[in-house]
Amino acid sequence: MTAYYTVGVVTKPHGLRGEVRVYPRTDFPEERFSPGSRLWLRPPGSEPVAELEVRSGRRHQNLWIVGFQGYHAISDVESWRGYELCIPEDMLHPLPEGAYYYHQLIGLEVISDTGEPLGVLAEVLTPGANDVYAVRKPGQPDLLLPAIRDVILSVDLEARRMTVHLLPGLRDGEEDE
């Protein structure tokens, strides 16, 4: 079974000509939403229900307005609210060394540089200047780690492990020094 990765989420139709507003979830929106690009449409977390070809795409504030071949009326796309636009794994771009796709990081065991098991990387948050990794351990609040070099020391995808340095104040209840 082919794995698919989300590159955008349809928020709602735009205008009457079958275009939709898309919240991008890719570092390559200019490529993914350009005319001729192939994308797959799926309900959230499900298997794709249609293969689409982009006929038009343009940035609009923090979203993209995207139209697809064969879909020219609002009634064609109204039911797509909340649906994901995705690509198969073989269409992912290779990343430079030290850069990772979120799906590669989710599920990694996180340990401190002192050997303490901290939990599993459960979610990657994107609040602003840098990503934040939410590390989950049963019975404890999530440990939120900024994805910066001073904190993330190493990522070993083969061993499914991330080693981190806990700066003062990163844990709840710790006082900054």
Please tell me the distance from the alpha carbon of residue 109 to that of residue 121, in angstroms, as a whole number.
7
Q: If you search the block for the tokens 């082919």, which residue do you land on?
A: 2
Q: In the prediction, which pLDDT does 174 show?
A: 52
Q: In the prediction, which pLDDT does 173 show?
A: 54
CA nearest to 67, candidates 130, 122, 112, 18:
18
Q: In the prediction, which pLDDT does 83 show?
A: 97
Residue type, 119: G
pTM over 0.85: no
How many helices and strands in the chain, by DSSP H and E?
Answer: 3, 12
Q: What is the mean pLDDT of each run of 10 residues along the chain (177 residues)?
A: 90 96 91 96 93 97 96 96 94 85 90 96 86 93 93 94 92 56
What would the two tokens of residue 68 be?
């697809």
State pLDDT tens for residues 109-150.
999 999 999 999 998 888 778 889 999 999 999 999 999 999
